[in-house]
């Protein structure tokens, strides 16, 4: 239809020109996005060129995600297109953040065994605003600490709030989801309250910055000493750990007010107090809390202290007062009889090393990643330990102690590595008078004895892992069992110690199985 110089189209013609549906054009007309030029006598709408242009622009803006109100503002010139675009950019950025958060939630679900209830919690956490995140931590702190007189501790917890950046990484979003769940965990709240209650009872009130720095320095010191001891292969329940404990205690004492006003010295009371403090603060959930906050806030994450803490607590339990373990062993060594007669401990060592050497030779490289009865050790790690034990005791016997515990002693040929190390031990033990020579409080035969015990129990581990027989050492195990009970019977069995608590054994178990069970292995 023509009206003067203007061409008018029916709604159907406009729909064909724009690709929009008649229903949508009618709706947009009703809400004011586009206006008909006129109506026919029968009431049908007719649209001109301006309406067609408005529809095409509206279609473009709609495709960009703008709502009808914003589109109408642009078309009516109430807002300029750049102004609307800037507003829409902000909205899109918020949508992008929301979508990334939802993506992080779903990725977290794929990595974890997530229940429907847990998914709901994660979704709630993901949708929280910055203010809501801060309020979550504030509620956790105030509810957990309650009325306890720990203002410095309280202030520190409240100051460390999760501050997700505007464009967080997946790791940061995932850290917030984990932290949000963690602060709802009753076990964490109980642990934090236990630590705060201990602090309120022993060190109440305000603490200045110097006290906090001193505490950090003490922590750094014992971590450094324990990590060095671990790198040297020193077991926390061995006599060699006692000097490490003594050095830690000497650094720690100046930071401690004496409980009853008397000065602390390195004795059973001081070591007991340090052990108590470590046990109160040992919950790894609180360590994880601080690590997650660092990830969220883009700060460096301090490596876990859990393993070092377990080492030091095990060492304090094994050495409750200075020299106690060494004195007990010296007494035992002086009073003990040679259990290995008539053939002698060197013969027992040869028998066990030959048997373990046979096991090692039977291991194939494709078995290296198999699990073993030693927690967290695969077959390759266990083979490396067997080599190390031979090098360790050979070095001690020769008067040249090893300090390369963390090195790869296995190399590319595990059979040759064990053969070389075991030959070094045999040579060191065969020196004239070595068995009676004193190594500290111990005669040399006790060094040989220790290698025999290590080879018996870890040989049993290897045999179990690769499914090979290890029966030729049953007689040696029978002789070794009372020696093992004598040496380790009074030693605390802890997570970081040399051996786990004794385990039950089936009726009729042989000497080797009984020995393995006594040293914490599960025998079926």
Q: List pLDDT tens digits, range 26-81.
A: 998 888 888 888 888 888 889 888 888 888 888 887 877 778 887 787 777 755 65
Q: List pLDDT tens digits, range 166-205.
A: 777 878 888 888 898 899 999 999 999 999 999 888 877 7
Most confident option among 96-100, 157-161, 206-210 = 157-161
Q: So what's the pLDDT on residue 6? A: 66
Say if CB 21 and CB 48 are below 8 A apart. Answer: no
Lowest mean pLDDT among 87-96, 456-465, 489-498: 87-96
397: CB partners within 8 A, 6+ apart: 425, 428, 429, 431, 434, 439, 444, 447, 448
Mean pLDDT of the residues in the chain? 87
pTM equals 0.73
Q: What are phi and psi of 371, to 5 degrees?
A: -70, 160
Say if CB 241 and CB 235 are below 8 A apart. Answer: yes
Q: So what's the pLDDT on residue 2? A: 47
User: What is the C-alpha to C-alpha distance for residues 392 and 282, in angstroms, rounded to an integer?
Assistant: 31
Q: So what's the pLDDT on residue 79? A: 54
The larger pLDDT score, comparing residue 442 to residue 464, is at 464
What is the token pair recorded at 6? 């203007």
User: What is the C-alpha to C-alpha distance for residues 313 and 501, in angstroms, rounded to an integer?
Assistant: 16
Asked if residue 4 has pLDDT above 80, the reply is no
Length of the chain counted residue by residue: 524
> Quick one: how many helices (H) and strands (E) in the chain?
22, 7
Q: List pLDDT tens digits, range 218-251.
A: 999 999 999 999 988 888 988 889 999 999 999 9
What is the DSSP secondary-structure string of 364-406?
-GGGTT-B-SSTT-BHHHHHHHHHHHHHHHHHHHHT-----TT
Q: List pLDDT tens digits, range 369-426.
A: 999 998 889 999 999 999 999 999 999 999 998 888 889 999 999 999 999 999 999 9
270: CB partners within 8 A, 6+ apart: 249, 253, 264
Q: To the nearest 10°, report the CA torsion of 94, 100, 104, 105.
A: 50
Burial classification of residue 428, based on how many CB atoms lie within 10 Å of its CB (0-12 exposed, 13-18 middle, 19 or more buried): buried
Asked if residue 336 has pLDDT above 80, the reply is no
Q: So what's the pLDDT on residue 372? A: 96
Lowest mean pLDDT among 157-171, 199-213, 479-493, 506-520: 199-213
Q: So what's the pLDDT on residue 518? A: 94
Q: List pLDDT tens digits, range 264-308.
A: 899 999 999 999 999 998 889 999 999 999 999 999 998 999 999
Say if CB 456 and CB 386 are below 8 A apart. Answer: no
The larger pLDDT score, comparing residue 412 to residue 256, is at 412
What mean pLDDT is predicted for residues 328-353? Answer: 83
């Amino acid at each position: 239809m023509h009206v003067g110089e203007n061409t008018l189209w029916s709604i159907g013609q406009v729909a064909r020109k724009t690709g929009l549906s008649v229903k949508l054009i009618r709706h947009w007309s009703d809400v004011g996005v586009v206006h008909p030029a006129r109506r026919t006598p029968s009431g049908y709408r007719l649209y001109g060129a301006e309406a067609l242009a408005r529809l095409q622009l509206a279609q473009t803006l709609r495709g960009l995600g703008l709502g009808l109100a914003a589109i109408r503002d642009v078309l009516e010139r109430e807002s300029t297109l750049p102004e609307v675009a800037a507003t829409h950019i902000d909205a899109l950025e918020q949508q992008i953040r929301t979508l990334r958060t939802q993506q992080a939630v779903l990725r977290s679900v794929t990595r974890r065994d997530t229940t429907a209830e847990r998914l709901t919690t994660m979704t709630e956490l993901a949708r929280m605003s910055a203010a809501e995140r801060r309020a979550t931590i504030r509620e956790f702190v105030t509810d957990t600490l309650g009325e306890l007189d720990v203002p410095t501790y309280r202030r520190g917890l409240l100051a460390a709030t999760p501050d997700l950046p505007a464009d967080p990484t997946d790791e940061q979003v995932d850290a917030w989801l984990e932290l949000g769940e963690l602060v709802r965990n009753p076990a964490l709240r109980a642990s934090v309250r236990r630590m705060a209650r201990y602090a309120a009872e022993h060190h109440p009130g305000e603490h200045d910055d110097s006290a906090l720095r001193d505490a950090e320095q003490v922590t750094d010191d014992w971590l450094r000493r324990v990590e060095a001891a671990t790198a040297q292969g020193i077991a926390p329940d061995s006599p060699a750990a006692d000097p490490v404990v003594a050095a830690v205690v000497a650094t720690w004492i100046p930071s401690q007010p004496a409980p009853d006003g008397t000065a602390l010295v390195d004795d059973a009371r001081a070591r007991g107090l340090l052990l108590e403090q470590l046990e109160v603060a040992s919950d790894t959930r609180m360590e994880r809390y601080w690590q997650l906050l660092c990830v969220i806030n883009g700060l460096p994450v301090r490596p876990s202290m859990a393993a070092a803490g377990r080492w030091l607590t095990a060492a304090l339990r094994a050495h409750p007062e200075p020299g106690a373990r060494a004195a007990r062993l010296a007494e035992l060594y002086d009073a003990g009889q040679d259990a290995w007669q008539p053939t002698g401990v060197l013969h027992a060592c040869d028998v066990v090393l030959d048997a373990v050497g046979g096991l090692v030779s039977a291991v194939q490289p494709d078995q290296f990643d198999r699990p073993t009865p030693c927690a967290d050790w695969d077959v390759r790690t266990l083979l490396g330990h067997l080599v190390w034990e031979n090098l360790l005791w050979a070095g001690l016997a020769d008067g040249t102690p090893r300090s390369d515990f963390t090195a790869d002693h296995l190399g590319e040929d595990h059979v040759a590595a064990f053969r070389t190390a075991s030959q070094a031990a045999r040579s060191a033990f065969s020196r004239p008078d070595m068995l009676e020579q004193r190594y500290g409080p111990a005669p040399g035969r006790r060094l040989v004895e220790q290698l025999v015990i290590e080879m018996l129990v870890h040989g049993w581990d290897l045999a179990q892992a690769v499914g090979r027989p290890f029966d030729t050492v049953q007689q040696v195990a029978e002789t070794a069992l009372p020696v093992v009970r004598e040496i380790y019977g009074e030693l605390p069995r802890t997570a970081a110690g040399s051996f786990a608590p004794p385990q039950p054994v089936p009726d009729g178990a042989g000497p080797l199985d009984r020995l393995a069970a006594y040293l914490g292995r599960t025998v079926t």
